[in-house]
Amino acid sequence: MEKKVCIAMVPCPGHGHLIPFVEFAKRFLLHNNNNGVFFHVTILVPTQGSPSSSTIAILNALPSNMDFTFLPSITMDQLHNPPTHPIPRMKLIVQLSLPSLRKALTSLTSRTTLVALVSHFFSIDSLLLAQEFNIFSCVLYSAGATSLCFSLSFPMLDKESDNNSNDEFLDLTKPVKVSGCSVSFQVKDLPDLIHFPRSSEVYKSYLDVCKALSLVDVVILNSFNSLEGDTIGSIQKEKTAPFVCPIGPIIQTESGNEANKLECVRWLENQPPKSVLYICFGSGGTISHEQLNEIAHGLELSGHRFLWVLRPPSKISESGYLIVTKNDDPLEYLPSGFLNRTKGQGLVVPSWAPQIEILAHGSTGAFLSHCGWSSAMESIIHGVPIIALPLFAEQRMNATLFTDLLKVALRPEQGDADENGIVTRDQVVKVIKRIMESDEGLEVRKRTRELSDAAFLAIKHNGSSYMALSSLAQKWRLKSIA
């Protein structure tokens, strides 16, 4: 019996990092299993502790030409001084999983024709095994081309900072022009990992993965030419850069979890068209208690309808990823009497809501978002303009791109935050009214609809993303018969 042609994938630990891998695999298999070579995808999942119920639900719903294996769990309490920040922590989990990953790949090669290993950016250490097995090394870069451009440039920018005596990255007073990017950035808007001391574990971990990125065979990019064509083109012209394959947008087509879905959809059905502001900070983003209060008061004062996905506050903005948080009722952190006063105005749901269905609903008029790339792609493809309130990682870069270049988002104006970086209730009201009521908001909505149309064209037959995916499949087909 002829062996299946297999693609192995290694996401990062964490529910939010798994979704782009599953959605990419579904798109790839649907698109490419009718050309004489039948691909199969196996997802090899590094773990720390027991997988979450949402992770298990996603994996149990995979189609028949996909399967998964949980790699043996890495127990952090057995290690001396395990990292607390999610980035070095995820990187360490993957490194410690390499022996079990090697065994899994050996098993796959005995049963299939293994042609490629696709890793997450922060699982890039797994690609050390790609050369050992003589297969393509690929990174599924779940952010955009602008962020990729910075990641590829970062090792050189780090070298330029070697003369800094204060252990800081670059001159904080000057804008940074990243080679290949169509927009300049303030240092404060670059990925927050660079703001750690250069001697820190976090900074070194990010620098390590950026150095490794230039050595991979293919970077699979969740973007498309009409969104970031100039930046994609500039990367592709670089002789030292990996082959870049823009196949986006990759988004979920429906929310898998049924919790709160019926309640949210029923509530939206009773609201006027384009009248609801949706608020969510991704699968792991959190805000401080003070910022939560300011948003709550701002929503109430704005008078606009809202649907808010609320999780318990934290001073660590990425606390939903890998860090165990208290099982508190998030509603207890709202200002006293808020739910009663806004009963006819808004709906607050704890922890999770069906984001795809909410963004696709005709009553949703705007999205107050942390500007995580996956959420932004979902908002753009559904034609929903964004209020940008970035929290961590590359989200400030994304916010700059969306507001300054692509014009699909509004952001609280400079000086809108207080001395502690909190966006105040008055400024929350102001930006809500700008996007929901003003001519400026209408222009942002129009531009978002234009990019939504362009996104659908990109993934249709013979669209730019369709053709990029075909090119990738051809590389993997030729490997299977080599």
What are 48's two structure tokens?
Answer: 């720390």
Q: Taking a C-beta distance cutoff of 8 angstroms, is the pair 48, 13 a contact?
A: yes
Q: Kindly report the backbone phi and psi dihedral angles of residue 349, in degrees, each rounded to the nearest multiple of 5, phi listed first.
A: -120, 135
- Give CA separation, 405 vs 25, 44, 370, 399, 402, in Å: 30, 37, 18, 10, 6
Query: Cα–Cα distance between 21 and 29 in angstroms, integer?
Result: 12
State the pLDDT at residue 322: 47
Residue 273: count of CB within 10 angstroms of its CB? 10
Domains delineated in the chain = 4-250+459-481 (3.40.50.2000), 261-437 (3.40.50.2000)
Question: What pLDDT sits at residue 326?
Answer: 52
Token pair of 348 as six digits: 């607050």
Is pLDDT above 60 for 416?
no
What integer is the mean pLDDT of 446-465? 96
Q: Could you tell me if 458 and 224 are in contact, meaning their C-beta atoms sit under 8 angstroms apart?
A: yes
> Which stretch of DSSP H or E encloses residue 7?
strand 4-10
Distance CA 421, CA 416 (A): 9
Instruction: Using CB atoms within 10 Å of the CB of residue 33, give its burial: 0 to 12 exposed, 13 to 18 middle, 19+ buried.
Output: middle
**Distance separating alpha carbons of residues 432 and 279, to the nearest angstrom:** 11
Alpha carbons 76 and 344: distance in angstroms, whole number: 46
Instruction: Please give the Cα distance from 209 to 147 (Å, whole number).
Output: 13
Q: Are 115 and 7 in contact (CB under 8 A)?
A: yes
Q: CB of 322 within 8 A of CB of 48? A: yes
**Mean pLDDT of all residues belonging to the chain:** 89
Q: Which phi and psi angles does 124 have, rounded to 5°?
A: -65, -20
Band of the pLDDT at 413, cuts 50, 70, 90?
confident
pLDDT tens-digit readout, 33-84: 656 678 999 999 999 888 888 788 889 989 999 999 999 998 877 677 888 8
Distance, in Å, from the CA atom of 429 to the CA atom of 410, rounded to the nearest integer, reads: 13
3-14 per-position pLDDT tens digit: 789 999 999 887
Report pLDDT digits (tens) over 356-379. Answer: 999 999 999 999 999 999 999 999
pLDDT at 324: 46
Cα–Cα distance for residue pair 161/155, rounded to 1 Å: 10
DSSP string across 241-253: SPEEEE------S
- 127-131, 239-243, 329-333, 433-437: the lowest-pLDDT one: 239-243
Q: Which two tokens stand for residue 251?
A: 């988004």
433-472 burial: b if 16+ Cβ within 10 Å, else e? ebbbeeeebeebbebbbebbebbebbbeeebbbbebbeeb
Instruction: Sort 306 into a burial class: Cβ within 10 Å, 0-12 / 13-18 / 19+.
Output: buried
